[in-house]
Structures are given as C-alpha cells and as structure tokens.
Amino acid sequence: MKLNELIKTDGAVTTPKRKGRGIGSGLGKTSGRGHKGQRARSGGLSRPGFEGGQMPLYRRIPKRGFNNKRFATVYVEVPLSRLNRFDDNSVVGPEDFVAAGIISPDRRAAGVKILGTGELERSLTVRAQRFTAGAKAKIEAAGGKAEEI
C-alpha cells in the first residue's frame, strides 16, 4: 500500500452544515435555533451546572468530613532493581539517584523510599529516608547496608 492509494472510509469526512443560507437548505431563517428564547440569542447559553435558578446540585449536597490526603507525606518510590546500575561497594543516596536519572530533580517530595521490587545483585550501602521491610532484607542479603537518613 502506498500513500497515493489510501482512501478515506465512508463517513470519515462530512461537509459542514451551512446555516442561514435560505429556506431550501433546511437550515435557513432561524438556522436551527428555533424561535426566540435564550438559546436563540447570541451568547445565550448558561454556565455549566446552572439549573435555571434552582439551587444547583453542587450546592445542594452536603460538604462534610475531613480528608487528610492534602497533609500526607509524599515520598518518591524507587524499586530495588534500579539500583543495579551503581558500582559494587559504593554508597548511594538521593543525590546519586538524581545524577543517575533514576528520579527527576524537580519532584517535590519529602524524600526517597526504597521498595523491595526486583532483585539487587550488588553490595551497596543505600542511604534513603524510608525502606520497606523487604527492601532492607534484600539489601542486607546482597551484602550491603540500608541506612535511614
């Protein structure tokens, strides 16, 4: 198949409705807007959520309770398998993760959390704010150390 052999499928391209072009077009005179009324005027649409003066739904339902999510401590999560790119017997921390491209420097977070996903094949001293229990066990099993900052 070549580019000059491509054809458009039926219904892919439709001609736009030409409004206000006489009675014979079927969309003449009022151009499909009906007679008078708010929607017949230019700019005559109400804002989203407007219910004709009735108290809108978003104001009728109760707003109760408290959500602690906005105050939660956020950590950048790093899987253990990503640490295999570092040399044996080296000390690695958040600055090294940024330099190696493992985490983005513009991430706003309270620190780094090392997750136990994947395997660690090197003996590393890993410095981070948090570790999962599985990550700590795998780091120590590989002959390294997990140090919390």
Average pLDDT over residues 29-33: 92
Tell me the CATH number for domain 72-148: 3.100.10.10
Q: Which band of pLDDT confidence, cut at 50, 70 and 90, is reported for residue 96?
A: very high
Average pLDDT over residues 89-117: 90
Tens digit of pLDDT for each residue in 112-122? 999 999 999 99
Cα separation values, 49 from 44, 53, 55, 59, 123, Å:
15, 10, 10, 10, 59
Chain centroid offset of residue 102 CA:
19
Q: What is the DSSP string of 21-44?
A: S-GGGSS-TTTTS-SSSGGGSTT-
* Strand-pair category, 111-115 with 130-131: parallel
Q: Which band of pLDDT confidence, cut at 50, 70 and 90, is reported for residue 94?
A: very high
